[in-house]
Structure 1
Amino acid sequence: MLSLKLPRLFRIDQVPQVFHEQGILFGYRHPQSSATACVLSLFQMTNETLNIWTHLLPFCFFTWRFVTALYVTDIWNDSYSWPLFVYMGTSCVYPLASSCAHTFNSMSKNARHICYFLDYGAVNLFSLASSLPSVLPESPHPGLPAPSQQRPHRILSRRTYLSLPRFLEIQKPGLCKMLRVLAFAYPYTWDSLPIFYRLFLLSGDGAQNEAALYHQKHTAMTLLASFFYSAHLPERLAPGRFDYIGHSHQLFHVCVILATHLQMEAIVLDKTLRREWLLANSRPLSFPQIAGAVLLCLIFSLSNIIYFSAALYRIPEPELHKKET
């Protein structure tokens, strides 16, 4: 009979320091795993298994939502829905990129960094799509910034502040974590100002509807995701107890997916319930505007991925990583 031999797992002291996760002591894969071994690890319990599946399964769900919405919409003649479909499409991309990053990040030290560079690029694309003005319906107000203003600048800055810390994560882990949190917090807060203004300061049919509760839940879930990402709880309090199930990155993944689901429900409701109000009070984005923004994001992200990936091979090994123990 055919038998399948699953890859061997290692303790934290048996893998290079670049692979170490705070509070995670067991369940590490070989630091030079083959692509086949990485795929096989999806079907054994490692400290990455649930990180993979908590985004791989939602990728399937969001893809189903996206395809279903395309099927029932006259996409060529309904320009009002174009930003929504860009958003729904990118909501499929970032979970898939994250799943792939967690699947193949044990192939080598450099592969680990490159996997997360690609992951950050997908997150950047999703961030752009979720902040398009006609996707997140905003209340026009002269004192508030439009989410689309200076997006290319923030795209580039986010990519830089997400990628650069990977070169310092061993020497200065606290600084790296702070830069990554800020890279998410700053654009999210800026882009959400019109929504916050609408939810908490405006009243009437043009602002409040059934979608408002979803927006509020989305904000709460995003804050909870940020907490788990930065706090490393509960594994920091009980190292070794949450290596396989229940550590902070898994909880972060779950919160991020729930936040995306709640945001998508809010957007779909808003696009339906506020259609007449939005068409009367705002100008829909044209195809060149949407395509141009997405193309700029892709160019900036791919440029950063190529630059930082090449830098991995230019920097001497002792400068990039401390001596392994």
Structure 2
Amino acid sequence: MMGLYQGPRLLDFAKTPPHLQFNKYVLTGYRPVSTAQECLRSLFYMHNELGNIYTHGIPFLLFLVLLPLSIPWKEVDSTWICVVHYLACLCPTVGSVLYHLFMNHVGGEHVYDTLLSLDMFGVCLVNTLGALPIIYITLLCYPAVQQTALLAYILISAHGIYYATTARTNITRLKAFVWQALFRFVLFLFRVYGNGVGSPNSLRFFIIMDAFAVLGGLVNIIQIPERFSPGLFDNWGNSHQIMHVMVICSIIYLHWGTMEDLNWIKSFQCPTG
């Protein structure tokens, strides 16, 4: 497939535009400034963003087609849970593919910043929409608390979205998700030690989900393994691609956990009194 189109001469780190110099350990394989059509053509030749495009592009297509087949749409009273979960699984991959595909657009830094904000917005949405079914089911037997918690999480998420989409460093972006993670952690504790409800099997999926997300973010910040062998991982196996794979694993565990809860809720009744 990579031979279908003869790509342009690629650049090294020093010759690429300053706004694309965000990983000094990736030394070669940078696409030159390109039009939208030329960016699309870059799907068919080797460069250092190709792996980032396909590690989220292929899962997006698979999620788009396969996830609806495993969601019990007709068996859940609150259909909105199924809708927001489906959107949550798709959001981060869409923004990521657009960002990595068009980041070298002739529009320059302005277009790059817009695409980066879109990418981060998708990450924020998977955190926000993905947690709403968890909150809903955990607090199912406490309707008033449930509604308050849903509203509170949305407000916390709006705060995170603002900081994530305006942040200038990976560390600042990671901090934007801390309050959301703490909120979910409290929910998990409520399931274990309080009166929260949910499938006995779903909690471990959600914990693994967050573990993958956090580990992926840390790998991306530390920039390993390319930090130890600059140039060796320019096209494949660098920290950002590893993070992409971990994000996909995190989404899969989110899906498994949510499906456990949705299948469990069909036969559950809150205790009276």
**Structure 1 length-normalised TM:** 0.72
CA contact (8 A) 1:135 1:267 kept: no
> What is the aligned partner in structure 2 of residue 101 from structure 1?
99
Query: Is the CA contact (8 Å cut-off) linking 2:209 and 2:250 kept in structure 1?
Result: yes
Query: Match for 1:84 among 78, 82, 85?
Result: 82
Partner of 1:268: 259
Q: Does the CA contact (< 8 Å) of 1:7 and 1:41 recur in 2?
A: no
Deviates more, 1:128-137 or 1:238-247: 128-137
Q: Cα distance, 1:124 vs. partner?
A: 2.5
**Maintained 8 Å contact 1:66/1:85:** no
| CA displacement at 1:82 relative to structure 2 | 2.1
| Compared CA separation, residues 34 and 233, structure 1 to 2 (3 A) | same
- Paired residue for 2:242, among 233, 244, 251? 251
- Cα separation, 2, equivalents of 1:281 and 1:13: 65
The letter of the residue matching 2:270 is A
* Residue in structure 2 matching 1:214, options 202, 205, 219: 205
The 1:44/1:109 distance shift into structure 2, 3 A limit, reads: same
Check conservation: 1:66, 1:89, Cα contact below 8 A.
no
Match of 2:181 among 176, 182, 188: 188
Counterpart CA distance in 1 for 2:88 and 2:199 is 27
% of aligned pairs identical? 23
Q: What is the identity, as a one-letter code, of the residue corresponding to 2:223?
A: H
Distance 1:229 1:177 in 2: 8
CA contact (8 A) 1:7 1:37 kept: no
Contact 2:5 2:44 in 1 (8 A): no
Superposed, 1:133-152 pairs within 5 Å as: 133=133, 137-138=137-138, 147-152=149-154
Q: Does residue 157 of structure 1 match 2:159?
A: yes
The separation in 2 between residues aligned to 1:263 and 1:209, in whole angstroms, is: 15
How many equivalent residue pairs? 264
- Once the 2 structures are TM-superposed, how far is the Cα of residue 68 of structure 1 from its aligned partner? 1.9
Distance 1:121 1:215, change over 3 A: closer
> 1:143 and 1:269 mapped to 2: Cα distance?
23
1:232 counterpart = 2:223: yes
CA distance in 2, matches of 1:112, 1:43: 21
Contact residue 147 and residue 190 of structure 1 kept, 8 A: no
Task: Give the letter aligned to residue 203 of structure 2.
Answer: A
Give the whole-Å Cα distance in 2 for the aligned partners of 1:51 and 1:92.
16
CA distance 1:203–1:93, change in 2 (3 Å): closer
- Structure 1 residue 120: Cα displacement: 2.0
- The superposition leaves residues 97-150 of structure 1 with CA deviations (integer Å, 9 ceiling, x where unpaired) of 211111001102211111111122222322221121556631568999964243
Question: CA 1:148/1:281 → structure 2, altered by over 3 Å: closer, same or farther?
Answer: farther
One-letter code aligned to 2:80 = W
Contact 2:163 2:176 in 1 (8 A): yes
Letter aligned with residue 229 of structure 1: N
Greater RCO structure (CA 8 Å; 6+ sep)? 1
Instruction: Give the corresponding residue for 1:308.
Output: none
Compute the TM-score of the two structures, normalised by the length of structure 2: 0.84
In the TM superposition, what are the counterparts of 1:1-325 in structure 2 within 5 Å?
Answer: 4-22=5-23, 23-30=25-32, 32-69=33-70, 73-74=73-74, 78-107=76-105, 108-133=108-133, 137-138=137-138, 147-166=149-168, 176-199=169-192, 201=193, 206=197, 209-277=200-268, 280=270
- Structure 1 residues 67 and 129, CA gap change in structure 2 (3 angstroms): same
Q: Deviations over 1:259-315 (max 9, x none)?
A: 1101110110111123343x5279xxxxxxxxxxxxxxxxxxxxxxxxxxxxxxxxx
Runs (5+) with no aligned partner, structure 2:
none
Q: Deviations over 1:138-176 (max 9, x none)?
A: 15689999642434432332222123233xxxxxxxxx2
- The answer to whether the Cα contact below 8 Å between 2:95 and 2:118 also exists between their aligned partners in 1 is yes
Alpha-carbon displacement from aligned partner over 1:4-25 (angstroms, at most 9, x marks no partner)? 3312210001112211132111
SS at match of 1:132: helix
CA RMSD of aligned residues (A): 2.9
Q: Partner letter of residue 187 of structure 1?
A: Q
